[in-house]
Each structure stands twice: as C-alpha cells, then as structure tokens.
Amino acid sequence: MNLLFRTSHWLNKISFSMAAFLLIYILCHILLEISLRMFGMSTYVLDEFVGYAVATMTFLALGYSLEQGSLIRVNAIIDRIPEYRRWLLDFVTSTIAAAFFSWLGLIWWTTVSRNFIRGTTSQSLAATPLWIPQGLVLTGIFVLCLTLLVRSLSLAIYHQPTQYGDR
C-alpha cells in the first residue's frame, strides 16, 4: 500500500514539474512571437501550440494540486458535519470523482487511439498529430485518477487523506 502512495506522489511531482515547464514554454513562445511580429514575421502556430500547452498543463497539475490540498473546496456542507465524520464525505466525493475521471479517461483514450490509428493531424501549418497533445492530456487524467484512488484508499483505511512530509 505504501508503494502505491509513494508512486502516486512521485508521479504527481513529475507531472507538476512538466506543467511548470509548459508554463515557461508558453511564456517563451509568446515572447518569441511578440519579438518576431515587431519584424513582420511570425511562428504561425502560437495559438495552436499554446492551446495544447494550456490544456496539458491544466490536467498534469490537477493530481498534484489535489494531493497538496490546493483545489478549491466549498465548505458550506463540510463545516456542518462533525469533524470525526468528515472523512466519510471526503471518501464518497473522492470515489465518485475517481469513477467520473476514469470514465472520462476511457472516452479520451478512445479519441486518442482513434486519432493515432487514423493519423489525424491539426488543420494548421504545423499539421500536428492530434494524438500527441491529446495523449498528454490523457496522461494528466491518468495521474489524477491514480491520485483520487490513493486518496480514497487512504480515507477508507486511515480516515484521513495521505500526508506527505514535504508540504
């Protein structure tokens, strides 16, 4: 069980690092585009690549954000439940979220595999194979599902979410 917790934590750190790298990439690409346009030139793919990066960055960072408790919570209901029973609501919502994102991941996998088999590309100058950015989003969905599963298991066994020492 501890191996599963550590693996999830490790994957979340890697995914978060990739998301941070994508944020730096977005900044650099925008600055490059601004500089090029001052000389009447362009990369012609700014909106496409930045769009892919934003979608990928969002999903890659979700698992880490959940693990660190950085996602927004609505405490209107949680505050009305006694402290010693809150883990149960957290368990139910984490399990439902894991089921939902697993279903979403299955649908997304179908799309990614179909685009890979068909060789579908974007309709831009770059002709980006669509399975690449979609596959990166799928990776983020997988990491989030694993994080939700680990959270649900931790809540079921220990009645509290997994704690990590480097918070």
Interval 129-153: pLDDT, tens: 999 999 999 999 999 999 999 999 9
Stated pTM of the model: 0.92
Please indicate whether residue 155 or residue 73 has the higher confidence score (pLDDT): 155
Q: Which whole-number Å values give the CA distances from 26 to 33, 77, 99, 111, in the listed order? A: 11, 38, 32, 25
Residues 93 and 112: their CA atoms lie apart, in Å, by 28
Q: Which whole-number Å values give the CA distances from 114 to 29, 122, 130, in the listed order? A: 30, 14, 10
pLDDT at 83: 87
